[in-house]
Chains A and B, each alone.
Chain A
Amino acid sequence: MTNAPDNTDQPRIRTVLADDHAIVRAGMRSELGDRFDVVGEADDAEGAIDVINARQPDLVVSDLHMPRGGGLAVVEACALVCPIVILTVSEAERDLLDAVAAGAAGYLLKNSPIEDVRASLVAAADGEPVFSPSLAALVLGEFRRMAKASDANPLTDRERQVLQLVARGHTYKELGTELTISPKTAENHVRNILGKLQLSRRSDLVRYAVQHGLD
């Protein structure tokens, strides 16, 4: 976490914060630092969608559990406007998978060290998918279960390796060094993994619907 954002010549990242706890928003605003310019805040999903559409920010940091729709509604409505990073205390598998399926650019835990959150948010604003180690393990577990259930693991060996390294706490840069690929390639792998996850979630739903006769 040495790549602290001290480059003042870069444009500040116009950010919208959505969280139903004012104290969390205040805390975030003061901790985000100079690199970020908080251009809007909202305390529920509908408010967040309005603010995002009005301000057209570079990045949205949204809580998951909020009144009137929650973070998922925000992601579903605004995923195309700018990257949306879910910042939550929820380590529940379903929350993560739903957020990814809805199109979230990242999913971070509120108890992550603030430098990590900052670095991840900068990366997310650049279009990188951001993922904390415990969530990488979760995704790895999800794919393993799917492989066991359907006899077909949609992850390539390389993608599996990438996921394992993220779960072991490697940054994209370290990951590139370890696998002798460029950080950009590593990032692409992660993007593909997320893509597959979204796909698999959908096929899961279809399978469920067929099994239960709900199609």
Chain B
Amino acid sequence: MTSVEGADRQLERIFPTGVTMLRAVAAARWLTWLWMAAVVFVAATRRVDQTLDSDTSGADTAFRQPVIAWLCVGAVLMMCIAATVALRVDPSRLMRPAFAIVEGGIALTLSVIDGWVFDQGHVFETSQSLATQYPLIAMATVGLTFGPWIAAAVGTLVGPAEAWAAHLNQFGPWSLRHTFSIVATSIFFAAAGALFGWFSQLLRRVEGEIADRRAKDEVGRVLHDTVLQTLALVETRTSDNDPELARAARDADRDLRRFLFGAASRERHTLESLLRSTIERVTAHHDVNVTINVLDDGCRATPEAQAALAGAIGEAVTNAIKHAAATRVIVFAETDERGEVFASVRDDGIGFDRDKVRAGRGLDGSITARMTDVGGRSTVTSTPGSGTEIQMWTA
């Protein structure tokens, strides 16, 4: 894996808890192999005195094909060793399709030849088949690699495999109970495969999200510590003697912040994103410092009321910039217990005398009317020389 693309794909496939799961599966595979070896060993020793209890078939069946049985034990041992080595060297190999296909194939083959290697009367009677828990291991591997659907599909094949095994074992007579047993086996393994697949998909998604968030935080922190620091300084130091540079720095600062912190909130159509985008629009190309504080949890104002409020706030900010010559504007909005919104736009501009400026500055038309149209209200507090505050309520 030298190409970047290859490395990326590997990262995407293999996720940290995935490795933990692969380890658990590898351990379970070794246990299964031990169990299988024990089963085969016990059955092989039984061959010697087979003739003594030819009646008591069932639980005590011996081998017709001991060599094949030992070959099967060897095959599973190879899988165990391969998995252990791969875990050491490169765990992602265990999640390649080839490995899962081989494992699924071995599990089904074991289930089928179970009926062939044992003496007649083995199937449906013994508690221990040749495959033991190996199909379950295969379900885990297939689920991890291919996801729930394919794992479920492979799981349903285990039942037919056992039916085939019964055929090879010259089983008869066939009754409803046996059909039922086959169907139950299929359902069990399909469910197991689906569960493993679903669970690993879930883990993978969660981890992906965590990783994305971490990466974003990291980028944000780096930009914070470097670029934003410098921009803030440029903004502060040039505001008197080079307003153009200060404005450029402020724009860059705002764009960067919007990129870093705004993307997530803009995806949702919240009151906050609505207000922010409105204010963003009216302050574009203006040299003004706008602080936006919005607490919009539990907002139950109608969309019309929210739109009206956003429009009114936009007007208020525009007024502050264009007419009041403000350098700072603070926009605050919060929901009350009923879910209605209170908003305030405050500036440090020249202010005005309410008595002298009647319907001026578009206040009555653009702000008061907007709010009253949706059943809200607004008030204006201003003193010449010490700024203006416009307060608005949606209800």
Residue of B nearest to A28 (CB): B233
B172 to chain A, nearest CB (A): 57
Instruction: Tell me, yes or no, whether B270 is within 8 Å of chain A by CB.
Output: no
Interface residues of A in 103-134 (CB under 8 A from B): 110-111, 113-114, 132-134
A77-85, A161-169, A187-195 - the one binding chain B:
A161-169
Tell me, in angstroms, the Cα distance from A145 to B229 when the chains sit together.
30
B224 A137 Cβ-Cβ under 8 A: no
Tell me, in angstroms, the Cα distance from A65 to B291 when the chains sit together.
23
Q: Which residues of B contact A136 (CB under 8 A)?
A: 293
Instruction: Tell me, yes or no, whether B389 is within 8 Å of chain A by CB.
Output: yes
B295 A140 Cβ-Cβ under 8 A: yes
Instruction: Tell me, yes or no, whether A152 is within 8 Å of chain B by CB.
Output: no
Complex partner residue of B261 from A24, A91, A169, CB under 8 angstroms: A91
Tell me, in angstroms, the Cα distance from A113 to B348 when the chains sit together.
12
B23-31, B104-112, B324-332 - the one binding chain A:
B324-332
Q: Which residues of B contact A90 (CB under 8 A)?
A: 224
Tell me, in angstroms, the Cα distance from A24 to B233 when the chains sit together.
7
Instruction: Tell me, yes or no, whether A179 is within 8 Å of chain B by CB.
Output: no
Q: Which residues of B contact A111 (CB under 8 A)?
A: 228, 231-232, 235-236, 253, 289
A144 B332 Cβ-Cβ under 8 A: no
Tell me, in angstroms, the Cα distance from A27 to B236 when the chains sit together.
9
A65 B224 Cβ-Cβ under 8 A: yes
- B286-329 vs A: 1/0 string, CB under 8 Å? 00010111110100000000000000000000000000000110
Residue of B nearest to A95 (CB): B224
* Most chain A beta-carbon neighbours within 10 Å: one of B294, B295, B389: B295
A110 B233 Cβ-Cβ under 8 A: yes
Instruction: Tell me, yes or no, whether B344 is within 8 Å of chain A by CB.
Output: yes
Tell me, in angstroms, the Cα distance from A114 to B334 when the chains sit together.
28
What class of interface size applies to chain A in its complex with B?
Answer: 20 to 34
Tell me, in angstroms, the Cα distance from A113 to B287 when the chains sit together.
13
Q: Which residues of B contact A65 (CB under 8 A)?
A: 221, 224-225
Q: Which residues of A contact B346 (CB under 8 A)?
A: 168-170
A90 to chain B, nearest CB (A): 6
A167 B293 Cβ-Cβ under 8 A: yes
Residue of B nearest to A132 (CB): B291
Tell me, in angstroms, the Cα distance from A196 to B207 when the chains sit together.
35
Q: Which residues of B contact A133 (CB under 8 A)?
A: 291, 293, 330, 332
Tell me, in angstroms, the Cα distance from A141 to B297 when the chains sit together.
9
Instruction: Tell me, yes or no, whether A54 is within 8 Å of chain B by CB.
Output: no
B330 A168 Cβ-Cβ under 8 A: yes
* Most chain A beta-carbon neighbours within 10 Å: one of B221, B233, B289: B233
B227 to chain A, nearest CB (A): 9
A31 B236 Cβ-Cβ under 8 A: yes
- B351-389 vs A: 1/0 string, CB under 8 Å? 000000000000000000000000000000000000001
Q: Which residues of B contact A134 (CB under 8 A)?
A: 291-293
Residue of A nearest to B297 (CB): A144
Instruction: Tell me, yes or no, whether B65 is within 8 Å of chain A by CB.
Output: no
B237 A89 Cβ-Cβ under 8 A: no
Q: Is the interface of A mostly helix, strand, loop or mixed?
A: helix
- A137-156 vs B: 1/0 string, CB under 8 Å? 11011001100100000000
Instruction: Tell me, yes or no, whether B45 is within 8 Å of chain A by CB.
Output: no
Instruction: Tell me, yes or no, whether B230 is within 8 Å of chain A by CB.
Output: yes
Tell me, in angstroms, the Cα distance from A168 to B231 when the chains sit together.
25
If A65-B221, A90-B224, A111-B232 touch, whether A168 touches B295 (CB-CB below 8 Å) is no
B237 A31 Cβ-Cβ under 8 A: yes
Residue of A nearest to B333 (CB): A137
Q: Which residues of B contact A167 (CB under 8 A)?
A: 293, 330, 332, 334
Instruction: Tell me, yes or no, whether A12 is within 8 Å of chain B by CB.
Output: no
Q: Which residues of A contact B330 (CB under 8 A)?
A: 133, 167-169
If A1-B348, A27-B236, A90-B224 touch, whether A137 touches B293 (CB-CB below 8 Å) is yes
Residue of B nearest to A142 (CB): B295
Complex partner residue of B230 from A23, A91, A137, A140, CB under 8 angstroms: A23
Interface residues of B in 208-237 (CB under 8 A from A): 221, 224-225, 228-233, 235-237
* Most chain A beta-carbon neighbours within 10 Å: one of B239, B297, B332: B332
Instruction: Tell me, yes or no, whether A68 is within 8 Å of chain B by CB.
Output: no
Q: Which residues of B contact A27 (CB under 8 A)?
A: 233, 236-237
Instruction: Tell me, yes or no, whether A21 is within 8 Å of chain B by CB.
Output: yes
B233 A137 Cβ-Cβ under 8 A: no
A142 to chain B, nearest CB (A): 10
A13 to chain B, nearest CB (A): 19
Tell me, in angstroms, the Cα distance from A1 to B349 when the chains sit together.
12
Residue of A nearest to B345 (CB): A168
Chain A residues at the B interface, C-beta cutoff of 8 Å? 1, 21, 23-24, 27, 31, 65, 89-91, 110-111, 113-114, 132-134, 136-138, 140-141, 144-145, 148, 164, 167-170
Q: What 8 pairs across the A-B complex have the smallest Cβ distances?
A: A137-B293, A169-B330, A110-B232, A89-B228, A168-B332, A169-B346, A111-B232, A168-B344
Ordered by A's residue number, 13 sampled pairs between the chains whose C-beta atoms are within 8 Å are: A23-B230, A89-B228, A110-B229, A111-B236, A113-B327, A114-B236, A134-B292, A136-B293, A137-B334, A140-B295, A167-B332, A168-B344, A168-B346
Extra inter-chain contacts (14) besides given A111-B289, A164-B334, A168-B344, CB under 8 Å: A1-B348, A27-B233, A27-B237, A110-B236, A113-B239, A113-B289, A133-B330, A133-B332, A134-B291, A134-B293, A137-B294, A140-B334, A164-B332, A168-B293
